[in-house]
Structure 1
Amino acid sequence: MDVIESLAGDLSGLRVLVVEDEAAISLLLEDMLLDFGCEVVGPSARLAAALEAVEKEKVDIAILDVNVAGESIYPVAEALQARSIPFVFSTGYGSQGIKDSFRDRPVLQKPFAQHDLKQKLLQARRNGD
């Protein structure tokens, strides 16, 4: 088993919604997710596009930047929660910047490594919704 295969773990085949407005981070996430064997939905760089993706696309799990183009991500988090779709917050501000009602969700601290991303995604899947 090679390194990439061992990184995939339980994530292979999952459709992952990526909501991120920074192009470089979005590309990094996409590359990492493809290494895990995931299919990337999006990425969405705007709140409206992310909400539309949640409504219209098959999504197994999501990675949500907390602040997307100056807008709070919480409407997307609420839409995912209503559909019992697990998600991970991505932020440079740590878990202190997360709304109280979502403090139980995994938080991926920017900058992050591929191993960190995998662990947070697996944690979100274990916790379910």
Structure 2
Amino acid sequence: MTKTILLVEDEFLIAIDLQMLLERRGWTVIGPAATVREALSLLDDSLPSVALLDVTLKDGLVTLVAEALRARNIPFIVASAYDKPEDVAGEVLAGAPNVGKPADERDLLKALERHVH
């Protein structure tokens, strides 16, 4: 089974670091998307196994992307410095694992594996 991940991160260097890390670990990365609009467009073209979401993007909060993922039954993980991302971007983020920002590599990979299998 191919492990695919939608990467939604608007900070270029963080996005590239995450992409390289994930690809080294066997993931096929969709994106990275730096905006809500770009992420939604990628979702129209592909259905990833899981998504990794930053909370605040160049064009707003990630809320609409999280809602689109839930509607498609695609699990997601949040990478945020906020203690409670749901307080910022809405209840749709409640219960989603938050690996922090910057994300610890081991914690991130463990969280992704748990949500794909």
Instruction: Give TM-score, length-normalised by structure 2.
Output: 0.88
Q: Which residue identity does 1:97 align to in structure 2?
A: P
Aligned residue among 71, 85, 105 for 1:114: 105
* 1:33 equivalent in structure 2: 22
Q: Report sequence identity in percent.
A: 32
Task: Give ranges in structure 2 of 5+ residues lacking alignment.
Answer: none
Structure 1 runs, 4 residues or longer, greater than 2 Å off: 99-102, 122-126
* 1:4 equivalent in structure 2: none
Task: Give ranges in structure 1 of 5+ residues lacking alignment.
Answer: 1-11
Whether contact under 8 Å (1:89, 1:107) holds in the other structure is yes
Q: What do residues 15-74 of structure 1 show as CA deviations (whole Å, max 9, x unaligned)? A: 111010001110111011112100110111111010011111131111010111151101
Instruction: Give TM-score, length-normalised by structure 1.
Output: 0.81
CA RMSD of aligned residues (A): 1.6
Q: Which residue identity does 1:116 align to in structure 2?
A: D
Give me the whole-angstrom Cα distance separating, in 2, the residues matched to 1:48 and 1:70: 8
Structure possessing the higher radius of gyration over alpha carbons: 1
Three-state SS of the structure 1 residue aligned to 2:107 is helix
**Count of aligned pairs between the two proteins:** 114
Give me the whole-angstrom Cα distance separating, in 1, the residues matched to 2:92 and 2:104: 27
Q: Which residue identity does 1:25 align to in structure 2?
A: I
Give me the whole-angstrom Cα distance separating, in 1, the residues matched to 2:73 and 2:85: 23
